[in-house]
Every structure is written in C-alpha cells, then in structure tokens.
Amino acid sequence: MANILINQGTQTTVKSDTVGGIEYPVFKLDRGGAGATSLFTGTLDAVTNIAAGTLSRVGTVLNLSAGTVDTIGLVHADKWGTVISSGTSTLGTLKAAVSGSQIFVTDITISVGSASNVVIASGGTSTPILGTLFLSANGGMVGNFRTPLYTVAGSALVFKQSVDGPMTITASGYVD
C-alpha cells in the first residue's frame, strides 16, 4: 500500500493499494451517524455483533430490523427423520443416543388406532419432553415446534404408549 499525495496548494495524503502497478483507493468503513464517527472494526464475512438489529433470512432475501437473529428456512447439517410403526406398549427408540449431543425434535406426528396415552421422552419415560398425550382411538396429534423439544445430552429419543395397539410416529429434527 502507498499514499497518494494531492497538491491543493498544500499536500493531502490519500491511502491506496498498489496492484500490478495500478493504485486502488482504500476506504474506511464507518457506521457513525451524521457528525459522529464509529469505526467498523469487524470483517464483512464474519460480522459478530449486530448492535440494534435483526438479521433474518427469508429465501434469498436478507432483512435487517430491530430484534433478534432468525434462521427461517435453513436446514441443519445434522438433520434426521424417522417413521416408526409399533403395536406394543414397550419402550421404543425414535433416535438413538449420540454421545455428548442433544437430539432436537422440530416436527412430530403421532397416530394411534386404539385409545392410548403416549409419552415422548429423553432416555426413558422418567424424563418426558412431550406428553403424556391422551389420544382417542383413531386419533393423534401434529406438532411443528418453532422452539424445538430436546433430549438430555447423550440420551436417546424414546417413546412409549400405554396399551398394545397400532401407533405410527413420524418425527424429524437435528442433532447438536
């Protein structure tokens, strides 16, 4: 980088960067309001502090307004999904434990053929994360959770129904 001198009766220094013999001007980013200065010290590819704003992604459009960071429409790298059909009241596994990680449930559909109580739990039915659900014969429930349900770290995601009878669970989420 080099300084460019401008002669206006006296000299004024301008910062530039020389690339292949060509001088390119260097600009400083400042986020201060009128009459004030507040130097931007982050990097454009890794902005870590949005002082008074919201960053949300809707499709390919990025909006900035007051609030929080929202990741609408993004898919987690460790996503999972499963469909389980059961006919017994024994403890079953929706998603096996992942050492040191929590299993998050973002969507779940439960359908029963017989009136049944259903629990979705972390590791065993003593730590329910959803339920006890009291479902009528040929009934069920659908849940799409903006704030996901989650297991204790290192625990499996399990289910149990109170009676022997047909039941189907479709669930999805991510591991983190």
Query: Is 75 strand, coil or helix?
Result: coil
The phi and psi torsions of 26 (rounded to 5 degrees) equal -105, 130
Residue in this structure with the two tokens 């206006």, named with its chain if needed: 8
The CATH number of the structural domain formed by 79-175 is 2.60.120.340
Handedness of CA 28, 54, 147, 77 (dihedral sign): negative
Domain ranges of the chain: 1-41, 46-74, 79-175
List the structure tokens of 118. Answer: 């259903």
Find all residues with CB under 8 Å of 165, minimum gap 6, and list them.
87, 112, 113, 114, 116
- Using alpha carbons only, give the angle 23, 26, 30 rounded to the nearest 5 degrees: 165
> What is the per-residue pLDDT for 55?
52
- Cα Rg for the chain, rounded, in angstroms? 28
Cα gap 107→81, rounded to integer Å? 9
> What is the per-residue pLDDT for 68?
54
Find residue 18's DSSP bridge partners: 23
Query: Is 170 strand, coil or helix?
Result: strand
Q: Mean pLDDT per segment of 10 residues, for the chain of length 176 residues?
A: 68 81 80 75 57 51 51 72 91 94 95 94 89 92 92 95 94 93
